[in-house]
Chains A and B, each alone.
Chain A
Amino acid sequence: MGWENWIINTFSRSLAYGTPLLLGTLGEIYAERSGVLNLGVEGMMIMGAYSAFTTTYLTKNPWLGILVAGIIGGIFSLIHAFTSITLKANQIVSGLSLTMLGLGLSGVLGRGWEGKPLASTIPKVTITPLSHLPLLGPILFQEQNLIVYFTIISVPLLWYILFRTRIGITIRAVGENPATADSMGINVSRVRYICVLLGGILAGISGGYLSVVYRPAWTEGMTAGMGWIVIALTIFAFWNPVNGMLGAFLFAALYHLSFRLQPYVSPELLKAMPYAMAIIVLIFVSRGTLQKRIGAPAALSLPYTRGED
C-alpha cells in the first residue's frame, strides 16, 4: 500500500498547490485573449493574499477575506487597465510596475501581521460516497478544499464562455483584430477593461487562497514568483482554460515530486527547481512556434487606437 499512499498524497497536494496557479492562469488567459498582457499578476496576487489574511483575521470570516481579496485584486488590475488601455502605455512596463507596487505596498502594510495565527479558514470537505472510489476517491473527494472545487468547476464554464458563446467571440475578436471588432460596433476598450478586471479578481482570489487556505499565514513576498509562473502557464496553455488546468496541475505535481529528491539534493537547489521547470516547460511549447505564434492573440500587448492601420 506504500506506493498507493504516495500517489494519493502527491496528487492530492498537487490539487491544493495547483489551484492558486490555475486561478491566476484562468484570469490571465481572459486578459490576454482580449489583447492585454498583464505582467502584474504577482503584484495582484500578493495584494490579494495580504487583504484576505487581514480581513479574515479581523472578521474571523474567511469567505469575506476571499471576497475582499478579489475586490482588491480587481481594483489593482484597473490601474494596469487604465495605463495600458486608456493611456496606451507599454504593457510590459506597466505590468512590471504593478508587480513592484503590489510587492512594496503589501510589504509596507503587512509589517506586524507576520506570524499571527488564523483562527478560521475555509473548510475542507469529504464527499463521502465518492471518496471510497479507489485512488481517485481519496485524491479528488477526500479532505479537499471548497475553493479547489469552485476553481475546477469554473474551468469548463470559462472554456464554454470563451469558445462557444457570443461573449467569447467578442473577446477573441478584440484580441485578434480590434479594428475589425470596432467596425462591427464592439467597444474595444470596454471589453478589454472587463477582461483585465476579471483577471485581477481571479489573481486576487488566488492570493487570498494562499494566505487563508493553503498556508494559512501571512509572510512578506509569500507569492514567491507564482505570479510569474502563471504568465508562463498562460503561454503553455495556448490561451485555453482547459489546457490551463492541465498545465497548472501538471506543474504542481512536478513541483511536489521535486521535493522527493530532498535526500539527494540540497534544499537551496530544490527551491530553484520550480523556476527552472517553468523555463523548461516554455522551451517545450515554444519549439517551432517562433514563426507562427500558435494560439497567441494577434493583437496581444498592442494598444488600440481607432483609425490606425
Chain B
Amino acid sequence: MTSSKGLEFKIEERSGVSQGRILCISVLAILFALVIAGLFFQLFGVSALKAYRLIFSGSLGSSFGLAETLRRAIPLLLCGVGLTIAFRALFWNIGAEGQLLMGAVAATGIALFSEIPAPLLLPAMFLGGFIGGALWGLIPAVLKVTLGVNEVITTLMMNYMSIYLVEWLIHGPWKGPSARGFAYSETFPPSAWLPTITGTRIHWPTLVLGLILSVLMYILIIYTKSGLEIRIMGENPEAARYAGINSLKVTLLAMFISGGLAGLAGVGEIAGIHQRLLGPTHISMGYGYTAVIVAWLARRNPLAVIFTSLFFGLLITGGDVIKVSLGLPSQLINVFNGLILFFLIGSEFFLHYRISLLSRR
C-alpha cells in the first residue's frame, strides 16, 4: 500500500489479462509516446499536429507512401518474428542488426563468387543468408549456455563487429573494381536481383517469405513440442530444469531461428533494393534495433508482428517525409522508438497491477 497526501492507494496484482485490455493499453502507450514526441516538434518550431499530419499522409496517403511503408516493414517483419522466438526463450538477442548484416554478407558472397546457375542463385542466397545470420546468432547462444556469458553484451558487441566486417569487405577484398572512389562491392548479376512490384521497391518474395514464416513460427511456438519447451524455459527456467528440458538445445534452436530470420532480412535488403554490398548503415539503418520494439509491442506473438512491423514501417516512412519536407533531423525516429518502448514497458504495470483509490484518511 502506498499513501500520499492523505489519499490511500491499493495496488493489487491482477490474475488474468484479457486480449482487449492488452490492445487498449498498448494503443494508449503509443499515443502517450506520440504526445511527448510532439513536444519535440514544438521545440523545433514545428506544430506537432502538422508534423503528425505529414507523417500519416506521407506514409498512408499516397501509393508511393504505402509502398515505402510496406518495404520498410519487410526487414522489420523478418527480424521481429525471429526476435519473438528468442525473447520467448528469455534470450535477450539485441543482435538482430548484426545477424541481418551477416546474412547480407553471406548472400553477397554467393551472388558474386559462386557458380550457381541462375534459377537456383536466389534460393541459394536466401539459404546462405539464413545460415550466415544463424551462425552469428549461435555464437552468443553457445557462450551463454556453456559459459554463462551475458548475451545482451555479446550480441551487441557482435553488432559492432559485423559493421566493421562489412566496412572491411567493401573497402578491401570485395571492393568492386568498377566502383571508383566509392566503397561498394561489384553489382550483382541480374539473376541475383529480387523481383519487385512494378514502380515500387517492394521485393515481394521477401515479403511473402516473411508472412509465411510469421505463421509458421506461430505454429511452432504454440503447437509444437519445441515451442512448448521454448515457452517453459522462458516462463519458468526452474520448471524447465525439473522437466528435463535441455537448455542448450532449446536456446540454440531459438537463436538459430532468430539469427536466421534476421539473416533473411539482410538478403532481402541487398538482393531486393541495393543489388550490391554497401555501407552497413545504408543496408540496415537500425532495423535490427527497431525490431526489438516491434517484437515487444507484439507481446512476443509472431502473428502480431505483421501488424507491429507495418506500424513501424509507417513511422520510418513518415520520418523520411518530415525529414525532407520540414528539414527535421533523421534521428528523430530514434527518439520515437525510445519513447514508444518506454511507454510500452511502463504500461505493462497497468496490465499486471490494479490500482484503486481506497478512501480519504
Interface size on B, residues (CB 8 A): 48
* A276→B349 contact, CB < 8 A: no
Q: List which A257-309 residues lie within 8 A (CB) of chain B.
A: 266, 268-269, 271-272, 275-276, 278-279, 282-283, 286-287, 289-290, 293, 305
Quick one: closest B residue to A104, CB to CB?
B334
B345 lies within 8 A of chain A by Cβ: yes
- Whether A97 and B148, one on each chain, are in contact in the complex, defined by CB atoms closer than 8 angstroms, is no
Q: If A96-B292, A107-B331 touch, does A89 touch B346 (CB 8 Å cutoff)?
A: yes
Q: Is A217 an interface residue (CB 8 A)?
A: no
Whole-angstrom CA separation of A107 from B293 in the bound complex = 20
Distance A104 CA – B286 CA, assembled complex (angstroms):
12
Asked if B187 is at the interface of the complex by the 8 Å CB criterion, the answer is: no
Query: What are some 16 contacts across the A-B interface (CB < 8 A)?
Result: A43-B338, A88-B349, A88-B352, A92-B92, A103-B334, A107-B329, A231-B152, A268-B165, A275-B157, A275-B160, A278-B157, A279-B143, A279-B153, A282-B153, A282-B154, A287-B147
Instruction: A104-B333, A231-B153, A305-B13 given; name 16 further pairs at CB < 8 Å.
Output: A87-B346, A97-B337, A98-B342, A104-B334, A107-B331, A107-B334, A225-B156, A228-B156, A268-B168, A272-B165, A276-B161, A278-B153, A279-B149, A287-B147, A289-B148, A290-B146
Q: Chain A contacts of B334 at CB under 8 A? A: 100-101, 103-105, 107
B66 interfacial by beta-carbon distance below 8 Å: no
* Chain A residues with CB under 8 A of B160: 225, 272, 275
Note all chain A residues with C-beta closer than 8 A to B146: 290
What residues of chain B lie closer than 8 Å to A252, measured between beta carbons? Answer: none
Chain A, 208-235, CB within 8 A of any chain B CB: 220, 225, 228, 231-232, 235
Q: Which chain A residues (174-229) contact chain B, with CB distance < 8 Å?
A: 220, 225, 228
Q: Which of A99, A104, A231, A271 has the most CB atoms of chain B within a 10 A radius of its CB?
A: A104
Within 8 A of B (CB), among A63-94: 79, 82-83, 87-90, 92-94
Q: A39 to B152, Cβ gap below 8 A?
A: yes
Max chain B CB contacts within 10 Å: which of A92, A93, A94?
A93
A223 to chain B, nearest CB (A): 12
Interface of A is mostly: helix
Within 8 A of A (CB), among B129-156: 143, 146-150, 152-154, 156
* B348 contact set on A, CB distance < 8 A: 87, 89-90
The 5 closest A-B pairs by CB, nearest first: A104-B334, A101-B338, A107-B331, A290-B148, A97-B341
* A-side interface residues, number (CB < 8 Å): 48
A1 at the interface (CB under 8 A from B): no
CB distance from A287 to the nearest CB of B (A): 6
Residues of B near any A CB (own CB < 8 A): 13, 40, 92, 94, 143, 146-150, 152-154, 156-158, 160-161, 163-165, 167-168, 171-172, 289, 292-293, 296, 328-329, 331-339, 341-342, 345-346, 348-349, 352-353
Q: How far is the CA of A7 from the CA of B173 in the complex (A)?
A: 34
Any B CB within 8 A of the CB of A111: yes
List residues of chain B with CB within 8 A of the CB of A97: 293, 337-339, 341-342, 345
Q: Determine if A153 is an interface residue (Cβ-Cβ < 8 Å).
A: no
Q: Which of A79, A268, A276, A286 has the most CB of B within 10 A?
A: A268
Query: Chain B interface secondary structure, helix, strand, loop or mixed?
Result: helix
Query: Does B157 lie within 8 Å of A228, measured CB to CB?
Result: yes
Q: A89-B345, A228-B156 are in contact. Are A101 and B339 (CB under 8 A)?
A: yes
Closest-CB distance, B324 to chain A (whole angstroms): 15
Contact partners of B168 in chain A: CB under 8 A: 266, 268-269, 272
Q: Flag if A104 contacts B337 (CB, 8 Å).
A: yes
Complex CA gap A40/B94 in Å reads: 13
Structural contact, B167 and A268, CB atoms closer than 8 A? yes
Enumerate chain B residues within 8 angstroms of A90, measured Cβ to Cβ.
345, 348
| Inter-subunit contact A111/B329 (CB<8 Å) | yes
Residues of B with C-beta under 8 A to A82: 346
Q: In the assembled complex, which residues on chain A have CB atoms less than 8 Å from the CB atom of B296? A: 93
CA distance A213 to B337 in the complex (A): 31
A43 to B339 Cα, complex, angstroms:
13
Q: Which one, A83, A99, A282, contacts B150 given CB within 8 A? A: A282
Question: Distance in Å from the Cβ of A182 to the closest Cβ of chain B?
Answer: 13
Known contacts A92-B92, A111-B329, A282-B149; A100/B337 CB under 8 A: yes
